[in-house]
Amino acid sequence: MTASANLWTHTNTEAVDARPLDADASADLVIIGGGFTGCAAALEAARSGASVVLLEAQSVAHGGSGRNVGLVNAGLWLPPEEVVAIMGEAAGPLLIEALGRGPETVFALIRDHGIACEAVQNGTLHLAHAPSGFRDLEERYRQGNRFGAPLQLLDRAETARRTGSERFHGALLDPRAGTVQPRAYCTGLARAAAGLGAAIHEQSPVTRVARSNGAWQVEANGHRVRARRLLVATNAYHAGAEGAYRPQYVAVSYCQFATAPLTAAQRAMVLPGGEGCWDTALVMSSIRTDAAGRLIVGGMGNSEGAAGAIHAGWARRKLKALYPALADLPFEHHWRGRIAMTRDHIPKVVEFAPEAYAVFGYSGRGICPGTVLGTAAARALLGAGAEALPLPVLPAYAERFTTLLGGYYEFGAALSHAAAPRLPV
């Protein structure tokens, strides 16, 4: 296995002309960050006829968007009644409805712009790792259907048929959802935006942000972009710059391990319908396949950190427990990404200055919320106002003890993975 060899980088066939910023520029909207949020915003701004400049410090989808599991899930990680309890009876249902339409928004963009990203809309499976997990799914099924989601509760036998594993106690199927190659999807958004006139610049780290005479001035590579409106879309990969707003969140790692491609016979057994899956365990894990038939096992934790060997050992044991016949199949790729987690697991839109938004905090649900909120943020900034967003715009947002909590989550993941042989899979 090649250390840190990101499968999504290896298999991405989408490309965008995104040369480094090499001259001063002006635009209606300047975006910092080339992930799902920034690229969706750039596409919407260009589609509406606005001029837009996007500045990415590394490459498009370098951060969490290019390291994502690739599950195009509807809604948030939280059950809908918890969303309403946190946000209120007016705001909660609006966000639930908007993100419930999220998969169709994503797949429509893929169709409309011909994005080559291995898109499969055959649903996702939320897997019960234990009897207690199935009870949790029964409650999520009740709540989801109450809010109009076409969820299906599957028994143990049907779950085994769909996954090819006997280890799960049932599942919740969301037929709206699906999977994509996430780096390709994000790159395709950028390519589509560039095709409509957006200026996309990679290798253009922002070094200074200031507001002067009613406009934003953003500096990168020694050059200046002047724009009336600003969107900060860096999420968990915010690098910081003089005068720039810094989103606050807890950074949590998630790692993935991809096998060699399965044989035709193995592919017919393992997730034959192509659903993407994650489980109900407190330290969550995921399984899915890609277009070439690789099986991808993911879990909380930093496989590139001090506990990397623990996480890698867990992935091998997890594969053996789920699919004994595949126990010796080699892992050919592994990588990890950072998740921006907020304390209430609700995304945040902060208007930190006039005509300037920061959007962040997807808590592991980046594809649909990033696409939906990036698109809506562009509309809001370009004239539609805060009403274009499906959640309230905050004047400020703060998190406490972020570094301490990030370390706590990594320790918990490492402890859980080290003890995995003695716990239910």
- Name which of 337, 263, 369 is nearest 63 in CA terms: 337
Q: Measure the CA–CA gap between 202 and 209, rounded to whole angstroms.
A: 18
Q: What is the pLDDT of residue 3?
A: 44
Give the angle subtended at the CA of 142 by the CAs of 140 and 143, to the nearest 5°.
65
Name the pTM for this structure: 0.97
Neighbours of 213 (CB within 10 A): 6
**Residue 276 to residues 146, 212, 304, 329, 419: CA-CA distances in angstroms?**
24, 47, 24, 20, 25
Q: What is the pLDDT of residue 421?
A: 67
Q: Measure the CA–CA gap between 258 and 168, rounded to whole angstroms.
A: 21
Structural domains of the chain sorted by starting position, each given as residue range(s) with its CATH number in brackets:
1-122+176-248+344-394 (3.50.50.60), 124-175 (no CATH), 250-341+401-425 (no CATH)
Per-residue pLDDT of the chain (425 residues; tens, 9 = 90+): 444 499 999 999 999 999 999 999 999 999 999 999 999 999 999 999 999 999 999 999 999 999 999 999 999 989 999 999 999 999 999 999 999 999 999 999 999 999 999 999 999 999 999 999 999 999 999 999 999 999 999 999 999 999 999 999 999 999 999 999 999 999 999 999 999 999 999 999 999 999 999 999 999 999 999 999 999 999 999 988 999 999 999 999 999 999 999 999 999 999 999 999 999 999 999 999 999 999 999 999 999 999 999 999 999 999 999 999 999 999 999 999 999 999 999 999 999 999 999 999 999 999 999 999 999 999 999 999 999 999 999 999 999 999 999 999 999 999 999 998 654 44
Q: Spell out the alpha helix ranges (H) of 242-307.
A: 264-269
